[in-house]
Amino acid sequence: MRTTVGIIGGGPAGLLLARLLHRVGIDCVVLEARTREYVEHRQRAGMLEQGTVDALRACGAAARLEAEGLVHQGIELRFAGERHHIDFPVLTGGRTVTIYAQTEIVKDLVALQLADGPPLLFEAQALAVEKPESEQPVVRFLHEGREQTLTCDWVAGCDGFHGISRDAFPAATSRTYAHDYPYSWLGVLADVAPSCDELIYARGENGFALHSMRSPSVSRLYLQVPNGTEPDDWPDDRIWDELAARFAIDADWTLGRGPITAKSVTPMRSHVHEPMRHGRLLLAGDAAHIVPPTGAKGLNLAVSDVRVLGRAFAELHRTGSEQLLDSYSELCLDRVWQATRFSYDMTRMLHAQPNGDAFESRMQLARLHRITASRHAAAELAANYTGLPLPL
Ligand code: APR
Ligand code: PHB
């Protein structure tokens, strides 16, 4: 097989890139290791910056998002028994965010791709990217029980944190910056109407909790738990009791309970791989960087990388210029590091330190008080949360 752009990974990054390339007439092939069923049902985040919504709309993938997405005007911070509203439009000059699950974006993009797009192969597991320095890099992959090759002009590594694309970067010219946090998130989906109109980020004395949602009848909730926790360590009643304790405020408010339909534990880490390009291999999304979910930046960063990459390939196709491809890594990394910083700060401000450090705990409260007392500090949070300017 051969193609112009070989895309490894059919998550949001790979699927959106395929869509952007298809729209400007560049052929590509997407190799996805898992089944369609698996990628369409994997539980992930669901908070979209305006730029992400705009990118999906611009490539004709936002019909259902526009009908079903929930537009939010802000978030609520809870700490020390009080609630504080952070009003995004007021603080940012009109910006909002939209709740729409990543799994739904994947379903929408897969449907478009299978209807009129270039090939998308499921259960096609890339094994290695070979000769990325050459003009014809090759992806070796397993499909239908045999090893095959995809010869490309360019390869886009969109294969997430556990992918193989990063392995093709030489150790001598690449560097990874990593930070593991000393806690994880237990996430649950529950068939109960959300007990809030907007997301609640709560700093409880026993740890962090987040109240998010998927629809008017489905809630998505998270609890900070120790690393190494198994979902079965937490029977449903224990989860609801702990959530209620962490969201408790002095005013009258109750957390609605309902049947829990999914439960999983996610470790928290920050990871940035530099550079994002080696020869004719370019990384995008989680393959290049991951952030802890506290700032809701993972999916949004993947989309902003792909927007740059789509533009760079379009420019090459139209004018023959590789200028944008040459600056791809530099263009993306500034925004990547800003989102890494924001996610780190949000995480550190809201999670209980496992060692119970009293000084750190007071620093968290001081940071939170500053945000609620100063319009300037709140505006800084709102600007980062709703999304810093896009690179292009
Ligand atoms: N060959 C083919 N496909 C692969 C391989 C491989 N060797 N390894 C991984 N994949 C696939 C995975 O099965 C997955 O579908 O690559 C895809 C990567 O998708 P994501 O992990 O969703 O990453 P990305 O598209 O960059 O989206 C970023 O995902 O983790 C969240 O918070 C993150 O929301 C953000 C989003
Ligand atoms: C989610 O809805 O899953 C979600 C929302 C905001 C976050 C993290 C996760 O910060």
CA of 43 to the centre of ligand 1 (A): 12
Secondary structure class of 342 (helix, strand, coil): helix
Dig out the tokens for 319 from the structure: 């004018």
Looking at the predicted structure, is the pLDDT value of residue 43 above 90? no
Please give the full DSSP string across 47-110, using - where no structure is assigned: EE-HHHHHHHHHTT--HHHHHH-EEESEEEEEETTEEEEEEHHHHHTS--EEE--HHHHHHHHH
Mutate to test the pocket of ligand 1, among 31, 32, 303 (most ligand atoms within 8 A of CB): 32
User: Containing H/E element for 36?
Assistant: helix 36-41
d(CA 262, CA 43): 9
Q: How many CB atoms lie within 10 A of CB 172?
A: 6
Ramachandran assignment for 94, one of left (phi > 0), alpha (psi -120 to 50 degrees), beta (any other): left
Report pLDDT for 392.
Answer: 87
Q: Is 44 a pocket residue for ligand 1 (Cβ < 6 Å)? A: yes
Spell out the domains of the chain, with CATH numbers in brackets. Answer: 5-72+99-178+269-350 (3.50.50.60), 181-268+356-386 (3.30.9.10)
Give the model confidence (pLDDT) of 80-101 as tens digits: 999 999 999 999 999 999 999 9
% of the chain residues with pLDDT over 90: 98
Q: How many CA atoms lie within 13 A of 263 on its CB side?
A: 17
Looking at the predicted structure, is the pLDDT value of residue 73 above 90? yes
Report pLDDT for 254.
Answer: 96
Mean pLDDT in residue range 268-287: 98
Q: Is 274 a pocket residue for ligand 1 (Cβ < 6 Å)? A: no
User: Containing H/E element for 6?
Assistant: strand 2-8
> 147 Cβ partners below 8 Å, 6+ apart?
127, 140, 141
The answer, as to whether pTM is greater than 0.85, is: yes
User: Containing H/E element for 156?
Assistant: strand 146-157
